[in-house]
């Protein structure tokens, strides 16, 4: 389990974990997701590095240090929300969780692919790669294949040339 916070104190280290303490309840444990490590030069400083993709129920934290977290959205629930969620059928909860896990894996593989290609990593580019993989009905593991890699490189070249024309 990883901890990530913009302002935190290191509380402890072990061979496979770093324990940080944040002074705010807004930042907490990162669980049910994947941490992807990329070269820091691929991450450009932006106004916003914490993203909540509400339509998919996930959070994306793009760190300037090259650590990128893709995980399930975590929010503090009050008792009313808890009672409402108890009434939801179990099979619908499972379907939501499966869809969420799939999107987490697709987003993480999109980041890995962009890193391999040496492209800048932004929310828009990540979403574009995920959308492309979904539109092609590509299996998650096939996102890292050479055919899809070439297709993503071509789409990124098109996107960049259209941006230059707009400017």
pLDDT digits (tens, 9 = 90+) for 112-139: 999 999 999 999 999 999 999 999 999 9
Q: Residue 40: inside a domain, yes or no?
A: yes
The per-residue pLDDT for range 73-91, each reduced to its tens digit, is 876 554 444 444 555 566 5
CA-to-CA distance for 110 and 137, rounded, in angstroms? 15
| Residue 50 pLDDT > 80 | yes
Stretch 8-36: mean pLDDT: 67
Instruction: Report yes or no: 105 and 34 within 8 Å, Cβ to Cβ.
Output: yes
- Percent with pLDDT over 90 in the chain: 44
Q: Look up the pTM and report it.
A: 0.74
Which among 59-63, 86-90, 141-145, 154-158 has the top mean pLDDT? 141-145
In the chain, how many domains are there? 1
Mean pLDDT, the chain, integer: 81
- Residue 113 resides in a domain: yes
| Helical H segments across 17-122, by residue range | 79-86, 90-117
Long-range contacts made by residues 144-153, C-beta under 8 angstroms, separation at least 24?
Answer: 144/109, 144/112, 144/113, 148/113, 149/113, 149/116, 149/117, 152/113, 152/114, 152/117, 153/117
- For the cut 50, the answer to whether the pLDDT of residue 57 exceeds it is yes
Residue 154 lies in a domain: yes
Residue 102 lies in a domain: yes
* Predicted local distance difference test score (pLDDT) of residue 163: 83
Q: Is residue 152 domain-resident? A: yes
Long-range contacts of 53-59 (CB under 8 A, 24+ apart): 53/103, 53/127, 56/99, 56/100, 56/103, 57/96, 57/100, 57/103, 58/33, 58/100, 58/103, 58/104, 58/107, 59/33
């Amino acid at each position: 389990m990883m901890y990530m916070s913009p302002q935190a104190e290191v509380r402890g280290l072990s061979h496979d974990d770093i324990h940080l303490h944040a002074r705010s309840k807004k930042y907490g444990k990162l669980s049910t997701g994947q941490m992807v490590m990329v070269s820091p030069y691929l991450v450009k400083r932006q106004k916003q590095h914490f993203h909540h993709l509400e339509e998919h129920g996930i959070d994306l934290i793009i760190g300037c240090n090259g650590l990128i977290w893709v995980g399930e959205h975590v929010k503090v629930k009050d008792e009313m929300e808890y009672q409402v969620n108890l009434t939801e059928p179990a099979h619908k909860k499972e379907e939501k969780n499966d869809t969420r896990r799939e999107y987490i894996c697709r987003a993480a593989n999109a980041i890995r692919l962009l890193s391999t290609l040496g492209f800048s990593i932004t929310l828009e580019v990540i979403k574009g790669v995920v959308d492309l993989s979904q539109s092609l009905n590509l299996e998650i593991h096939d996102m890292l294949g050479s055919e899809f890699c070439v297709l993503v490189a071509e789409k990124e070249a098109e996107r960049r040339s259209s941006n230059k024309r707009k400017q």
